[in-house]
Amino acid sequence: MKVSLASALGTCFGVKDAINLAMEPQFKSDLTIVGQLVHNRQVNESLKRNGVDLVNGIDDLNKIKTKKVMITAHGAAEKMKEALVNAGHIVYDASCPLVMRVHKTVKSMVEQNYFPVVIGQEEHVEVKGIVGDLDDYIVINNEEDLEKLRAAPTKRFGIVSQTTQQMEKVENLVRKIREMDCVEDVAFVNTICQPTRDRQIAVRDLADQVDLMIVIGGYNSSNTKKLVQVCDEKNVEAHHIEAATQLDRSWFTNKNHVGITAGTSTPEYVINEVHTAILKIAQDMEEMPQAAH
């Protein structure tokens, strides 16, 4: 059984920078992260071991016991940062620069009198941060949501995307928006981040070669779910796991080629543990006596 790693997988620079910042000695036992720094269970557990507190979000302001607080890699609205400062906290910002680019793009579009439209998941922390400072906006996640545009006060729309969306989905929705009779002018900036694109392209290429894909990442990680989606579209069997302990040997029966990919918030050591465990399963299967024909 052949085992291949996707050509691009695992943590991106924005996630690495956020984790490194939160792990700095100056923060030991004196830092609260507002939200999940990244959507990965192992990372959040290691932060807790380092004495870092985590609260779900700005609604839990009264639960923050430390002076120092940190904004997650997913970014946050300026209103939220101001609320933290006004509550007497020192704010450290671990927002990914590519997410902040989306914030700036939306602001610029509004200044040019475009009505802001965000393609993404309305309840996702990144999207909440993008729209958090806007007076009016529409979030679209599928074709059914397009009807929302009819209620907008203008026919000029400025469109951006959550950074971890699937490329084909975003391009398809933008095309549909352009075709609508209630739309006259569309300014679209593709804000899917490059690491997300690279991982989607890599998993698509690998899916053409394998008969099983193991996708590693947090169950609440948007970009990891998109990697599973790519496999589903390619009709390749895929299993989404968070750790090597979740591997099931039965998945690998009669498989010739196994691919491994991982979301942008999955640490390298977790990928290595899964890779090693799969290689061990492959070795065990080779050593098993073959059934007589």
Q: Active-site residue numbers? A: 126
Judge contact between 234 and 209, C-beta under 8 A: no
Evaluate the CA torsion angle 128, 26, 268, 245 in order and state its sign. Answer: negative
Q: How many helices (H) and strands (E) does the chain have?
A: 9, 12
Which own/partner contact pairs does 121-127 have at CB distance under 8 Å and 24+ positions apart?
121/162, 121/222, 124/74, 124/162, 124/222, 125/35, 125/36, 125/57, 125/72, 125/74, 126/74, 126/75, 126/99, 126/162, 126/163, 126/164, 126/222, 127/162
* 68-71 β-sheet, strand order: 53-55, 32-34, 68-71, 90-93
Cα–Cα dist 52/46, whole Å:
9
Q: Could you tell me whether strands 238-241 and 257-262 are parallel, antiparallel, or unpaired per DSSP bridges?
A: unpaired
Q: Give me 89's structure tokens.
A: 């906290």
| Token reading at 231 | 């496999």
| Residue 46: burial class (beta carbons within 10 Å; 0-12, 13-18, 19+) | middle
Q: What's at 122, amino acid-wise? A: E
